[in-house]
Structure 1
Amino acid sequence: MADQNKSKAYWKENIRYLSILLIIWFLVSYGAGIIFKDALNDIKVGGFKLGFWFAQQGSMYVFVILIFVYVRLMNKLDKKYGYDE
């Protein structure tokens, strides 16, 4: 029974991490690239409007960063619940 509670707690925390990271990705890709594009276009980065940059490249960079963050979080979670190798 303790193993079952441990695995449920593990998956609950895993789903929480996934939800937070997916919300961040959504806000950056959809929010910054589409919804807030006009407001962000007032700011220039490297000669390009920031809204354009997020729509073209920024969301991909954030996605790759989120992958590394997820790996780090999952390694810590695995150690916390004893699932590391």
Structure 2
Amino acid sequence: MTLTARHRAYWRRNLALTLGLLALWFLVSFLPGYYATELNNIVFLGFPLGFYVFAQGTPLIHLLIIGIYVLIMNRLDKRFGVDEHGR
């Protein structure tokens, strides 16, 4: 099967979005861990800041990344005519 220019454009944008969001996920997941010692020196509401970053902030950012992916992919699918509803 030969891909058309339209197919290649769709997949290029899909891969760019995926790689961008994976880079954001990596930064959110691993960068605070690298600075955990410094974050734990800051106390917020009686607990180390590192606790809040990992227990509250990181899961919220992961949900936000999923939401961004869904919204952008739905728009991209509609734009290229490959959405589930065919609209």
Q: TM-score range by the shorter chain?
A: 0.7 to 0.9
Alpha-carbon distance, 1:44 to partner: 4.3
Q: 1:4 corresponds to which letter in structure 2? A: T
Tell me if the contact between 1:29 and 1:54 (Cα under 8 Å) persists in the aligned partners: no
Question: TM-score of the superposition, structure 1-length normalised?
Answer: 0.78
1:27 maps to 2:32: no
Give, in whole Å, the separation in 2 of the partners of 1:47 and 1:72. 37
Segments of structure 1 that go 5 or more residues without pairing to the other structure are: none
Q: What CA deviation, in whole Å up to 9, does each residue of 1:41-85 have, x standing for no partner?
A: 344444432222222332222111111110001011112212222
Tell me if the contact between 1:28 and 1:54 (Cα under 8 Å) persists in the aligned partners: no
1:10 matched to which residue of 2? 10
Residues paired across the two proteins, number:
82
Query: What is the RMSD computed on CA atoms of the aligned residues?
Result: 1.9
2:61 matched to which residue of 1? 62
Q: Percent identity?
A: 38
Segments of structure 2 that go 5 or more residues without pairing to the other structure are: none
Tell me if the contact between 1:25 and 1:59 (Cα under 8 Å) persists in the aligned partners: no
